[in-house]
A and B are shown apart, each in its own frame.
Chain A
Amino acid sequence: MPDLEPIVGRYLNVNIDQVNYRIYFEEAGEGIPLLCLHTAGADSRQFRHLLNDAEVTRRYRVIAFDMPYHGRSNPPDGWWLQKYLLTMKGYLALVRHVWLALGLERPVIMGGSMGGAIVLKLAAEYQRELHGIIGLESSAFAPGRYNDYLHHPAIHGSELVASYTFGLCAPNSPETSRRENWWYYSQSGPGVYAGDVHYYSNDWDGREDIKTIDTSVCKVSLLTGEYDYSCTPDMTRAVAAAIVGSRLVIMNGMGHFPMVENYPLFREFLLPELDFMATT
């Protein structure tokens, strides 16, 4: 018998502002939709452990998709004529279109890093249509990650981006897992990580939006790793302070990529939040 995992991969076609996108996504499980957003310059493989976690998938339909330009989701036609620069507006529209196209009813949306930022905006815009959000390494304002070397003709971008993000993991996370994330990061296309960081570090400012989130209609859980220096615990504490009724967990011994750098430890922090999300 082949040793098959329960994860199934498919392609979804969506049209956003007259542009066609072919989106790759993976899913596993049944129940409350849990839509997962990967970090900048990475792809949905970061959620493979979650997608394989039976304790999660017995009550959640876990879905993780690759953003255009990432993983197995191609850039849109004509990509060679435009610089890839993710914006808050474009990112919000993308997640919303995928969510609606898949017919996800009152999902929980969980995102990491830039995904942890956009879930705050999603909650502010669509809170009555959400079960809740889980922000991993969520900040409302995160300047300082962009630099021109991230996409530079004299630098091997793949190795720089992967090394630049490697130390965002906690030093005690398992080496195999940290290296796995390094590998994912080494595989983004030229300028893709930089284009994502443009959103995260230059375009994103949700400090006013988050004040409008009503946790009585949209639950909010915020989990941030102790060793995260991109979104520090203090940055997430500021988010939590602005959202009355939000739950804050500082994950000791964790870095910026909890779902991939140390899943066994992460699930100890995540499962109580999934319980919380599932309660009526």
Chain B
Amino acid sequence: MPQRAHSIFSDDWLVRAQAQVNTDAELQLIGTWFTTAFSLTCTDRRAERRAIVRFERGRLVDILPSPRLDVRCAFGFRASLEIWTKFFAANPEPLYHDFFAMLMRVPGFVLEGDTLVAMQNARALHRAMNVMRSVEP
């Protein structure tokens, strides 16, 4: 597995993702109603890494790694380390270049929880996920 994979959803990675997301001019513009929390889960053979990210009006205001059961979120993305690594690759291969592509064509990439809330926020959510791709490993 490339070096890049090991940092996915690590505490350090999430902090850098927060900084990147919160300086994105487009997300600030379109995120007025983007107030929700969702989970990012990465599984591999040894462990599962999960964090909840909470957005308020387009800003990532809270990162909750390894959340307790009383931390609620509306929906989440779950996939294996291998799939996330392809999604976050600098030059993603076809079918891994967009989360909608993966939802349609990559069976191990799952949108869980309340999918209605996810799609209500589709534009900003899509932008936020794409901005996170630019986070250095």
Q: Taking beta carbons and an 8 Å cutoff, which residues of A are in contact with B? A: 144-145, 149, 152, 154-156, 159-160, 162-164, 166-168, 170-171, 226-230, 232
Contacts and interface: CB of A to CB of B under 8 A. Distances in A.
B120 A155 contact: yes
Contacts of A227: 94, 97
A149 B97 contact: no
B63 to A, nearest CB: 24
Nearest to A169: B98
Contacts of B19: none
A229 B123 contact: no
A167 B105 contact: no
B47 interface: no
B92 to A, nearest CB: 7
Q: In which size bucket is the chain B interface?
A: 10 to 19
A229 B101 contact: yes
A140 B117 CA distance: 33
A229 B98 CA distance: 10
B57 interface: no
A25 to B, nearest CB: 31
Closest 7 CB pairs of A and B: A167-B98, A229-B101, A159-B123, A163-B122, A149-B119, A160-B122, A163-B126
A159 B118 CA distance: 12
Interface in B99-136: 99-101, 104-105, 115-116, 119-120, 122-123, 126
Contact of B122 (A144, A159, A171, A226): A159
Interface string B72-101: 000000000000000000011011011111
Given A171-B92, A171-B97, A227-B94, 19 more contacts: A149-B115, A149-B119, A154-B120, A155-B119, A155-B122, A156-B120, A159-B122, A160-B123, A163-B123, A163-B126, A166-B98, A166-B100, A167-B97, A167-B126, A168-B101, A170-B97, A226-B94, A228-B94, A229-B104
Contact of B123 (A162, A170, A232): A162
Contacts of A149: 115-116, 119
